[in-house]
Structure formats: structure tokens, C-alpha cells
């Protein structure tokens, strides 16, 4: 199974088949290029599927975080929160944050709502969401509208920004869009290959 690092190697191989002294793409930059291209093609593919009537995000594109995610209490706001394990890709109505659940009781739903939920729904008959828990993204945190405790372990499933995914972790992309991702990354960084560079500091491009 390919990781971000594998794709970065492939990109470097595409752009510079034989390593030479003018190979200007370093591994970190290659991984960044792969991440940015991966985010773009995933979003494009999700919108393509939406245009066909499907609102389900392919499972391959999702990342699940379930290790040691425990709520903490924000004294200033009097709300429980967890730190976002990765940046969420933006889709309408926070669809990028697919699921926040109790790790051992995943059937108990925690609804993802807008940060303005409390004020926008204050006069709604359904402001308590029919008894369900609710949370919302605010910056680098997910805040909860209901009370939790420090012992409750949570699970987060999201369309995570590929840049926040470790180089050896599961990379949320599938074979159907791999080549498009590499193509985008290569077209972005292929430009610099053509820029003449003075490699030996003799005021001549080589």
C-alpha cells in the first residue's frame, strides 16, 4: 500500500528520472506537492460524484483517528473540546468532518453542526437536536455543545488534509485518481525544471 513518501519518490522519479546535480525537487517539497495535489483531486472527485447524485464520500478518501482522543474542558468557554487531529477539507455544511463518535458506542451519534448553531437555532423547536449530542469545528478544535467527561474516548473520521498525514501513514487516495494526482503535482513542479540555474556559481546557467 502506497504512502505519501512512496508517491513523493514516484513524483521525483517522473520529474528527474536520473538523479543529477540539477535535481531541484527535494523530498519534503515532493511530499508537499503530492499532498496538495491529493487534496485537490479528492475534492474534485467528490464534487463529480455529487453531480451524479451521490452524497457519500468514498471511504478510501477518509482518515480515521482513534488513538487517545479524550475531551478536555475549556474553562473560558465552559465547553468540552478535542484538538483536531488534522485540518478538515472544506465541503458544504462541514461535510468534511464525517463522524465524531464515542469510540466504544459508535451508534450513539454526535451531530456535526455549524459554529453558529446555538444562536441560529435558539428559537427552533429542535434546538436540542431531539436529544442527540452535537459538536462543531472552531479553528484547531472540535467543541461540544453537550457535557462530556475526561474518560470518554472519542473517534474522529474526516476528510483530512493530506499535508497533516504522516509520511508512513495510510494515504487516503485510491488507484482511480492516483495518476491525476501525480499529473497535477508534476505539472506544478515541472515548471521549475525548465528554469536555468547557475549550479557552479560562475554566472552562467548550466
Give the residues lining the site for other proteins (CB under 8 A): 53-57, 91-95, 97-99, 109-114, 117, 121, 124-126, 128-132, 134
> Which is closer to other proteins, CB of 32 or CB of 91?
91
Least spacing, CB of residue 154 vs other proteins, in Å: 15
**Residue 105 vs 194, nearer CB to other proteins:** 105
Minimum separation from the CB atom of position 189 to other proteins (A)? 34
Main-chain phi, psi angles of 82, to 5 degrees: -130, 155
The distance of closest approach from Cβ of residue 65 to other proteins in the complex, given in angstroms and rounded to an integer, is 16
Nearest CA to 139 among 95, 73, 65, 84?
84
- Which three three-digit cell numbers place residue 15? 520529474
Cα distance between the two ends of the chain: 39
Whole-number minimum distance, CB 80 to other proteins, in Å?
18
Would you say 29 or 62 has its CB closer to other proteins? Answer: 62
86/185 with CB nearer other proteins: 86
Amino acid at each position: 500500500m502506497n504512502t505519501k513518501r512512496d508517491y513523493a519518490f514516484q513524483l521525483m522519479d517522473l520529474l528527474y528520472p536520473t538523479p543529477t546535480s540539477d535535481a531541484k525537487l527535494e523530498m519534503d517539497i515532493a511530499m508537499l506537492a503530492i499532498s496538495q495535489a491529493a487534496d485537490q483531486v479528492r475534492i474534485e472527485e467528490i464534487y463529480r460524484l455529487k453531480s451524479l447524485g451521490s452524497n457519500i464520500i468514498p471511504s478510501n478518501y477518509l482518515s480515521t483517528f482513534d488513538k487517545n482522543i479524550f475531551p478536555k474542558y475549556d474553562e473560558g468557554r465552559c465547553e468540552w473540546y478535542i484538538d483536531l487531529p488534522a485540518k478538515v477539507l472544506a465541503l458544504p455544511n462541514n461535510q468534511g468532518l464525517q463522524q465524531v463518535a464515542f469510540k466504544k458506542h459508535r451508534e450513539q451519534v454526535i451531530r456535526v453542526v455549524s459554529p453558529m448553531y446555538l444562536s441560529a437555532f435558539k428559537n427552533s423547536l429542535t434546538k436540542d437536536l431531539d436529544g442527540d449530542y452535537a459538536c462543531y469545528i472552531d479553528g484547531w478544535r472540535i467543541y461540544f455543545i453537550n457535557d462530556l467527561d475526561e474518560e470518554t474516548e472519542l473517534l474522529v473520521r474526516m476528510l483530512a488534509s493530506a499535508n497533516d498525514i504522516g509520511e508512513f501513514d495510510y494515504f487516503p487516495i485510491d488507484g482511480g485518481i492516483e495518476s491525476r494526482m501525480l499529473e497535477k503535482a508534476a505539472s506544478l513542479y515541472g515548471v521549475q525544471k525548465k528554469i536555468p540555474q547557475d549550479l557552479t556559481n560562475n554566472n552562467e546557467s548550466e
